[in-house]
Structures are given as C-alpha cells and as structure tokens.
Structure 1
Amino acid sequence: MISVLSNIQDDICNYADAISGITGTDVEIIDESLMRIAGTGKYRHMLNQNVAKNGYIYRHVLRVQETVLIKNPGENTLCQHCEKHLYCSEMLDLNAPIFLNNRVIGVIGIICSTEEQRQTLLNQIDKFITFIEQVAVMISSKVFECLERLRAQETLGAFRRLIDAMDRGVVAIDGNNLIWHANLSAARLFNREVIGLPLTIETTGDILYGDEEAWLTLEDQKRHVLCKQISLSSLENDSLTMVIFHDARDYMSKITMPSYESDSRARLIGHSQPMEQLRSTIGKIANSYASVLITGESGSGKEVVAFAIHQNSPRKASPFVTINCAAIPEQLLESELFGYVRGAFSGADPKGRVGKFELANGGSLFLDEIGDMPLHLQAKLLRVLQEKAITRVGSNNVINTDVRIIAATNKNIYDMVESGLFREDLYYRLNVVPLVLPSLRERREDIAGLAQYFADEFSESYGRPRQKVPDDMINLLYAYHWPGNIRELRNVIEYIYVMQGDAVGMNASHLPPHLLSAAEKQKNSHHKGLHSLDKQGRKAEKEVIENVLLRFGNSVEGKKQAATELGIGIATLYRKIKRYDLQ
C-alpha cells in the first residue's frame, strides 16, 4: 500500500534538504511503514528502502506519538536490538512524528554524526525541537491541502526565527526575485537592509565543498558565495527559493588555510653582517610587486624570508599561502595549485576544492622547492603568470588572480635550465629579483642568538623555566659545520630539551651523538690534543666578541649593549675581554 507521504515525495525531499541546510546535519523522513521517503547526505541514495531492521527509534516514535531526543544512540535501551549498536556512528538523534487527523503518518529524524553538530543542537535544543515539530506540521499541511493556509503563517514564523539564529546567510526570494526574508548573517554580508530588494543569482556551474559556486548581485553590490538553493512554498507567495550561503573567500580560507603566528614567522634572528645585508635587501624587495627567487641551502630559512617579504609589503593584510612542490605527488600538484571541481578526476574529493592560487588572491604565493616542479606544470605555471588567470581542473571558468610569486629552491636552477630540466622562460619570469641566503656557516656569530631563541621557544612549549645555553655548549655549536643550517640547529636544541628531561641545567652531554662525534673527529683530524676543540670554540668566540664590540664601541654603554646582544652579563663580558686581550 502506497503511503500518503510517498504521494508527495518530491516535496518531502525538499523539506529534508531545507532542514539539513539549516541545521548542518543529515535528515531522514520515514512513513508509518518505516519506508524511507526522503534523506540527505549518505541517506540520499537509499530512498524507498525499509528501515524496519534497525529502525527501533522510529518504531518507538510511531508508538508513543511524540518527539523523542536520543542523546546516546547505540547505548540507549531502544538501540540494544539494533545490529549496529556496538559501532553506531550516530551521536544524537532528534525525531518528531508527522500527524494527519490525529494519526501518525511518519517521522522526521535529525541525525548528528559529529560532536560539533551534537553540541550545536544541544545548545539550542528547544529551538530545534520547535523547528522540527513545525516542519512536521508543514509536511502534514502539504498532505492535507485544506489545512495548509491556516497553519502556514505560524510555521513560517518559526522558520524565520530559527534561520535568524544561523551563522550562514539565508535569504528567501519570491517568483519576482525580490527578497522576501533574510537573516542577520545575510544582512551583514551586504551591510544593509535587504528586504524587498531584487537579488540576482548567477551560478558558475562549479561545485565546491558540496555547494554551488555563485555570484549574488544586490543592486550595485556583488558577492562571491558558495550556496544551496531550495524551492519552498509560502503563504504570501506561490513559490519561494531559499538560498543558504557562505561568503566564498572567508569560507574557503577558513577550511583550507592553516593558521600562522605572524610574529614568529616574520622574525629574522641575528645581527651578523650577512643578516643586516639581508634585512636591507628585504626592505627594498618588499615594496615592489616583482617576483622573487630565493636560493640557498636546505634549512637556511627560505620560507621565513619569504614571509618577511610578504609582511613588509603592501599585501601584508592579504593571505600568504605556501605550497611545497616537492612534497606533493606530481599527479596532484596541478589540482593543489589551481583547484578542481566536483567530478574533475578519479579519486578527487567529490565536493571539489579551491587551489593555492585562488586562496592567495590579493596576497603572496610561496612556491617552495620550485626546482622539483615537473616540466609540463612549468608550462602551465608560466601561462598563469603571463595571463594572470587560472582555470580549475575540470572547469571552463576563467578566474582572474592578483598574486605575487615568491619561489625558492636549494638547487642550481641556472644549471637545470642549461640541462633542459627547467624552462628558461619560466626561470626569467621568476628570477626578476634573485635573493641568495647565507648558510649558517657564513653567519656563525648568530649561532648563540639562534640557539637561545630556540631554547626559549622550547622552554615555553615543554612548560619549563627558561634557561641560558651554557658557554661550553655554545663553543661546540660554533665549531660544528651545520650541513642542515638553521633547521638542524633548531632540531639540536629540541633534542637537548628531550634528553635533558627533569635534570637541572643543560650541558654538553645532552647534545646529539652525531654532533659530539663530529666534534671528536674534527679534534682527531687536526691533532690538536685534548683541548683543541675548546680552543677552536674560544677562537670563534673571540671573533664574535670582536665583531660585536666593533659595532657597539668600547665605551661603557657600548659594552653593555654588546653584552645584551651576546646574551651574557656585563661581568662575563669583561672577563672574556681580558681573557682574549681585547682592551
């Protein structure tokens, strides 16, 4: 026997979509014979299936004829006979009966699958119970047409109150494209009163993150959004279109981009001559719009320098987006750079995804390890840089971009060009401003400051009091050859904190074995006896102190500044000046 709900299944499915769009949960609507009439999410493709095998909660609602909230599916006594109760994925169920002439003809089920969804419902449970019961009334009214107009005003009022509490924008437009209702989030997006104004919706045809990409135009304002459109009926209008949307840029940035601590990313540590020269160069580069190619050994801080360029540029308020061309498989790199739409290729996220170029629009894009980019992608990158526009994989829409490119590599790109491994035209497009970073070996006088900076950082992260890196350990750090540069130094300091444990004060025994082994080999190879390594450390220390005193001067005030720079007390500085005969 066909149920009354199945006669209006298309309308029932629209109501399920509306509930899901507003609550952010999955929704099921079943009839009195436990047949699934409508469903969203994973239930959308399981319509007209009987759920009697596991539908114990729905059976209970049909029997008691009232709204039932199950806070612990799987553990609730109603679920004990369900074959899935031991591994139930549902975290909360809210179910309301659908009445017709005092007879229950079906059940609406709101299903939470995440803790976030669960907390959202529980925080406003009274509103959601009212809402789901009112929607049940709307469905009942649709079935029983003669009662619809008597009840629609009340149900739409509840509908309005709930959508006003949503953080997503919601507008309802009538058949003349005039806004009939809008919630506060929608009004905030346009920053004005919008009721009664004409709204135009232009979809691009692309599906991103499960929503349609579209442009909403309200008189002279145009907004880029990701939205769902749902057709409903109302009392005053023959038809309504509900548009539920996010601001595209804010939403895509929020779910795609990591959060950065700007201060730590932008800080360039050290006052050696190479570092002072680097700061001066960055100041000149930052104010231009030219592409920059940063070269230097692995671990020398190329991303930190790239971020410093961005932070000192007119684009600092816009995104700084990074992508490591060597860390992403070749077949996925194009989609990471340019994005893709739903169904673009096998294995892609069915919701679609924006690319790094689009996320960086208005800001800077850091292409790390550019030397590892395959040749066919180099050609596409060159075209994007020339045309200042991208096309997502699987789409025909051309998207204009305004992005500053900062690239980096530890390879000799010019040699790769000569060998045919890197496009010459792309090389010259990227290498407008070349920037070569010094290795840590070329700025040894910064080692003490860097070591102390990392020590302070790990003191905080490990929840320990700050402690000074002792001089004997600094001497060993000075003498090491640092093939891994600053990254290796940071790892060494973290190793020290791990090996130190609860011991009071760090010492040379906490250093990594490879560093101690290198020091021992160096000592033996130079045949300088048991104290040679210490002497070499003292020689390096003497050079550092000489350079600092040369910068600040030999006055009392200059020596105070020098001591502060070196991270030692003034008395210690005077002892070292006397030891090294630097008067």
Structure 2
Amino acid sequence: MHSLLSTLQDEISKYTDAIAGITGTDVEIIDNNLVRIAGTGRYRYMLNQDVSSNGHIYRHVLQVQKTILIEDPKENSLCQLCQNRLTCTEELDLNAPIFLNNQVIGVIGIICSNREQKMFLMKQKQAFITFIEQFSEMISSRIFECLERLREKERFGTFRNLIDVMDRGVIAIDSQNKIWHANLSALRFFDCELIGQSLDIDMTGDILYGDEEAWLILNQQRYHVLCKKITFSSVDNDQLTMVIFHDARDYMTQVNTLSVDENPHSPLIGNSQNMLQLKSMLSKVAVSHASVLITGESGSGKEVVAYTIHQQSLRTKQPFITINCAAIPEQLLESELFGYVRGAFSGADPKGRIGKFELAHGGSLFLDEIGDMPLHLQAKLLRVLQEKSITRVGSNNMINIDVRIIAATNKDLREMVNKGQFREDLFYRLNVVPIHTPALRDHREDIAELAQFFADDLASTYQRPVAKIPNVVINYLYSYDWPGNIRELRNVIEYMYVMQGDTVDLNLSHLPPYLLETPHSDPLEKEKTSGIYTAAKTDNKDKNQPLNAQEFLKTQNQTSEYQTIMNILEKTGTTLEGKKKAAEILGISIATLYRKIKIR
C-alpha cells in the first residue's frame, strides 16, 4: 500500500543525503505504514522494506507523535523485543515525526553507529533535536506543496494514478462536499458513478483499529467505514478533504473469523426419548426470534444446544459468537461484550476493539455461564435487550444491533433472584423460552452412540484407524453415573486413545483406573427400567456370546491391568481355551495376554 511519503521518494532521498552529509550519521525515513522510504549508508540498499517486525522505536514515535531520543538502544525498553537487539550496532537514535495537517505520515531518524558520532551529537543535543524537527517541517511543507501542485496539474492526474492502485477507497471532495475524484476501490465500494455527487461524512468520534469510524452518506444511503480524513487547502484557497477508507464490514469479517472456535461444534447426538423431545423442541424454538435460556449440569452440552438453535434458525448464515461470562475477569467482561475505543481505559489496545455484540450482528450471541455475570453488567445487558443498541466503552456513540440472545447456566437463577444475586427483570427477559439439557445419566441409551462418535472423531485426531468400541467397554460406560456428563465421556474416550498405544483395538485395559475401581451396579438392572438394550443383555450361558464384564470385575480393589486379567482368567479358566476366551473379552491377542501375564 502506497503512502504520501512514497509519492516523493526520489526527492525525499535527497533530504536524507543532505542530513547525513551535515551530521555525519546515517539517516532513514519511514512512512506511517512502517515502510522504509529513504535511507543512507547501509539503509540505502533496503528501500521499500517493511520494518514493522523490528521497528519498535518508529512505531512508538508514530503513536506518541513527538520527537524521541534513544541514547542507549540496546538498553531501552522499546528495543527489548527487537530480533536484532543482541547484534545491533546502533549507539543512538534520534527520531522525529513528520506531520501533515496534524496527521503523522512518517518518521525521520538519525542513527549513530559508533561512539564518535554519538559523542558529537550529545554535545549539541538540543541543536540536533531542533535541526531534525525543522527538516521534518521542510518535508511536510514539500509534501503539502506537491499535493497542491498535483491538483492543479490535470486535477491531480499523477496522484490519481497512484491512488487508483491503492487497496483502500480514496475519495477527494471540495468545500461544497462535491466529489471531484475517486479511485477504483471507491468506485467498486459504492458501485455507482461518483464524480460530481454530493458526499456527507458523519464521524462517530470512535477510533477502531487505528482508523476513525464514520458513515459516508451518498444518495441517502449510509455506508459504514473506518477511515482517515486529511483536509488541506488548494492554491486557490479551496478546502479539500481526502477520505481514505476501508469497508467496516471487512474488519468485522476478519475479527469474526478469529473469534470462531477452530473446532467445529459437535452435532446434537442421541435418539433416546429425552433427546428426541429436546430435538423436537429445538426445531420449534429455532424459527422464532425469542430469547432462550438453557439450563443443565456442567458438561451436558448446553453450547451444542445453543449452536443447534442457531443452525436451524434463519440466522444460520450469520455469525454465532460465544462468550463465557465466568472465564473473563469482571473488569474486562464489559469491554469484551460491548467493545471499546482508543483511550477507553488503562491497558486497552490503543487501536480500540469491536465487542461481541457487534461481531454477532445479524446472528446469535451465546452467553454461557450467565449466572456469573456481575450485577452492574446485568443492568447494562437488560438495557441492550430493551433498546437493541449498545455503546462501546469510552464512547457516546449509540450502535443499533440485531442479535438473538441465547444464554446458559448450570445455576438455579430463580434461587439467585430470590437471594438478590440476579436481576429479576433480566431473568424474565432471558427466560422467554426455557430449555433444559438432560444429564447424561438421564439418557443412558445415547452413551454408545456418543462414545462411538467421539471415538471416530479422535481416530482422525490421533491419525489411527477407526475402532469400534467393544460391547464389554460399552457396558462399563453404561454403568457409570457420569457426574461430568458428556464432556467427561469425551475425556474418557480420549484417555483410551492415549493409553491404546500400539494395540489395534480398544479394550477394558484402556479405561481410566477410576472407572475400573468404582463399584458398579449391574447395568442389566438399569436397563430393565430404562429400556436400554445392549450386548450386555445376552445369555451368559451361551458359549458363543461375550461374557458380561460386570461378572468378572465386581471387586472394588481391582487397581491394575494385571489384576483385571487374572480375575477374568478365574472365570474362563487357565487352559488354552480359557486364555483365548479371556483375550477375546479383553480385545487383545493371545500373545499379548501371555506377555502381560509374564510382566508380573
């Protein structure tokens, strides 16, 4: 991307040669894009290079907009992140900003590469500071004169050719707000003829990502942009304004992409009665615009439910943005939700930031762990739901939003309302459609399908062949009460993949020890009342069917793989046929069984 300084690169190079000749030092000029426009000495052969990776001093000068003298570059805090710090030969840096109509368009730097140069400059430090600032003003004046001349010469014909290739839109308007030039990017943005049209600029006063936020109004249409505005006078004293802008939606799309979870959301899995009822309800809720409050134990899949609602709604092609109200410090949660502008608070990104509400515009915002939101933010959230607009932290600019709120909690919000810990009015605003996600123990019928889904997904992650989870393992999974719900089930399956090693198939020995150590009731008893039918529901007298693992592993103190094998051998016998049967139950080869026995 070209800059104003780059338009006069050849002439600016003469300035650097003059300064170097007077001071006996190296000189370079960097534009506001942190690209080297001119340089002397070894920098002469590195023109048009991006110095942003190590140009920490120049970046600082662009930000503070004042002259900076660095007497010991290697020791200065601005240089600590520089990749070349240990090999740097610079003894002193004197840098001054280059202004154009109160806008910093670049930096001029004097660099001392040896002690003699440094001592010479330090003896006349104030004189050199004045000297470099005056040269900065000379360059500014020269650029200003150039812009004036370009306008008079074929209405900035040369400059028009330059800005036409810029990736940003550029529009120049006169004092009557008439457009007298627009580059190709601007023409594509507005998609209409621009020359001679009236353009109004409505600045919001907010600065985001280093640019000013504005609305460009053309033919009664409003266009949201982030821009830089430069105003100057022509030779006939007509005031000219140049607007260099980006489509604000480009930033929204870019930040949205960074905000989306890299891992795709899991589908809503299960065909039990509870899950079928839940799916039926979600299909009805999704097509509405009502706020939804999802309740349920931790790990029961509330975010999957929220994403399912979004995917089945008319907003499915718009963003689905999530924020965990419990995971973000209270003092930062407001700025994460609503965004902030430059200078909003200490430690904030000087460029400002878009908030989650703006990112979710047109789509859905999932507020997880809403019960952990502080009371003062609950009041602001209620106002947003009522007014359908937000205000960024540090700004007075009202922004209209269209967002569907889906909230979730594992807490009893009604009880929190009674205790004054959650606002009653906000509770009723969120609880228009209440949805409860059942605990995993309340839809055990889905465990086999869920476990196999996770196994298939993890097989891809660990680059292993897809393995079917054997019935003897499924029986164990059915028997457990799953206090951590679906999240815990996935962790268990991943643990099995980690412990699988070189074994071809998953088996009982790969289960976490606490599952083997925990006393279990017979899964058949649970199946009789829940309607579950699994491989465990077999006639153990049939020699051709797998034995029920529960009959082999009832002892509470079975803490090792060896003891598991020995307990199974007690049932099958230690004959060759018995060992083959034990190996079949465990899902391992007879050779592996012998090896595991010999280890002890």
- In terms of mean alpha carbon deviation, does 299-308 or 490-499 score higher? 490-499
Structure 1 position 485, deviation (Å)? 1.0
Q: Distance in 1 between matches of 2:416 and 2:441?
A: 26
Q: Does 2:14 match 1:60?
A: no
Structure 1 contact 206–212 (Cα < 8 Å) conserved: yes
Q: Does 2:292 match 1:311?
A: no
Structure 1 contact 141–148 (Cα < 8 Å) conserved: no
- Superposition pairs for residues 471-550 of structure 1, below 5 Å? 471-518=471-518, 521-522=519-520, 543-544=532-533
Q: TM-score, normalised by structure 1?
A: 0.67
Q: Distance in 2 between matches of 1:543 and 1:291?
A: 35
- Superposition pairs for residues 372-521 of structure 1, below 5 Å? 372-518=372-518, 521=519
What one-letter code is carried by the residue in structure 2 that aligns with 1:252? M
Change beyond 3 A, Cα 1:396–1:538: closer
Unaligned runs of 5+ in 2: 8-12, 55-71, 86-105, 110-137, 538-600
Structure 2 contact 29–108 (Cα < 8 Å) conserved: no
**Of 24, 32, 39, which residue of structure 1 is paired with 2:18?**
32
Change beyond 3 A, Cα 1:20–1:229: farther
Structure 2 contact 16–40 (Cα < 8 Å) conserved: no
Q: Does 2:199 match 1:213?
A: no
3-state SS of 1:328 partner: coil
Q: Does 2:272 match 1:272?
A: yes
Structure 2 contact 231–241 (Cα < 8 Å) conserved: yes
- Superposition pairs for residues 161-200 of structure 1, below 5 Å? 161-200=161-200
Q: TM-score, normalised by structure 2?
A: 0.66
Q: Distance in 1 between matches of 2:148 and 2:292?
A: 66
Q: Distance in 1 between matches of 2:175 and 2:264?
A: 53
- Superposition pairs for residues 222-241 of structure 1, below 5 Å? 222-231=222-231, 240-241=240-241
What one-letter code is carried by the residue in structure 2 that aligns with 1:433? V
Structure 1 position 141, deviation (Å)? 9.7
Change beyond 3 A, Cα 1:385–1:414: same
Change beyond 3 A, Cα 1:180–1:491: farther
3-state SS of 1:230 partner: strand
- Report the aligned-residue RMSD: 4.4
What one-letter code is carried by the residue in structure 2 that aligns with 1:32? A
Q: Distance in 2 between matches of 1:146 and 1:286?
A: 59
What one-letter code is carried by the residue in structure 2 that aligns with 1:388? K
Q: Distance in 1 between matches of 2:516 and 2:437?
A: 27
What one-letter code is carried by the residue in structure 2 that aligns with 1:439? A
State how many pairs are aligned. 457
What one-letter code is carried by the residue in structure 1 that aligns with 2:225? V
Structure 1 position 429, deviation (Å)? 1.2
Change beyond 3 A, Cα 1:329–1:162: same
Change beyond 3 A, Cα 1:168–1:539: farther
Structure 1 position 161, deviation (Å)? 4.2
Structure 2 contact 28–40 (Cα < 8 Å) conserved: no
Q: Distance in 2 between matches of 1:475 and 1:279?
A: 26
Change beyond 3 A, Cα 1:87–1:216: closer
Q: Distance in 1 between matches of 2:148 and 2:392?
A: 46
Change beyond 3 A, Cα 1:247–1:317: same
Aligned residue in 2 for 1:576: none
3-state SS of 2:265 partner: helix
Q: Distance in 2 between matches of 1:380 and 1:146?
A: 51
Change beyond 3 A, Cα 1:234–1:437: same
Structure 1 position 462, deviation (Å)? 2.4
Structure 1 position 364, deviation (Å)? 1.6
Change beyond 3 A, Cα 1:155–1:375: same
Q: Distance in 2 between matches of 1:305 and 1:468?
A: 27
- In terms of mean alpha carbon deviation, does 465-474 or 318-327 score higher? 465-474
CA displacement, residues 192-245 of structure 1 (integer Å, 9 cap, x when unaligned): 232332221110111112211100011132111111112467899956433222
Q: Distance in 2 between matches of 1:74 and 1:308?
A: 42
3-state SS of 2:227 partner: strand
Change beyond 3 A, Cα 1:150–1:392: closer
Structure 2 contact 187–194 (Cα < 8 Å) conserved: yes
Structure 1 position 499, deviation (Å)? 2.3
What one-letter code is carried by the residue in structure 1 that aligns with 2:297? E
Q: Distance in 1 between matches of 2:356 and 2:413?
A: 23
What one-letter code is carried by the residue in structure 2 that aligns with 1:313? S
Q: Distance in 2 between matches of 1:433 and 1:147?
A: 61
Change beyond 3 A, Cα 1:512–1:143: closer
Structure 1 position 457, deviation (Å)? 1.4
Aligned residue in 1 for 2:597: none
Change beyond 3 A, Cα 1:386–1:144: closer
What one-letter code is carried by the residue in structure 1 that aligns with 2:19? S
Q: Distance in 2 between matches of 1:375 and 1:67?
A: 56
3-state SS of 1:267 partner: coil
Structure 1 position 330, deviation (Å)? 0.8
Structure 1 position 480, deviation (Å)? 1.5
Unaligned runs of 5+ in 1: 1-14, 22-26, 45-54, 76-81, 92-107, 112-137, 527-531, 549-583
Aligned residue in 1 for 2:293: 293
CA displacement, residues 142-196 of structure 1 (integer Å, 9 cap, x when unaligned): 3896998599859955644444344332223333323233333322322223233
- In terms of mean alpha carbon deviation, does 211-220 or 246-255 score higher? 246-255
Structure 2 contact 321–365 (Cα < 8 Å) conserved: yes
Structure 2 contact 148–233 (Cα < 8 Å) conserved: no
- Superposition pairs for residues 256-267 of structure 1, below 5 Å? 256-258=256-258, 260=260, 264-265=264-265, 267=267
- Seq. identity, %: 61
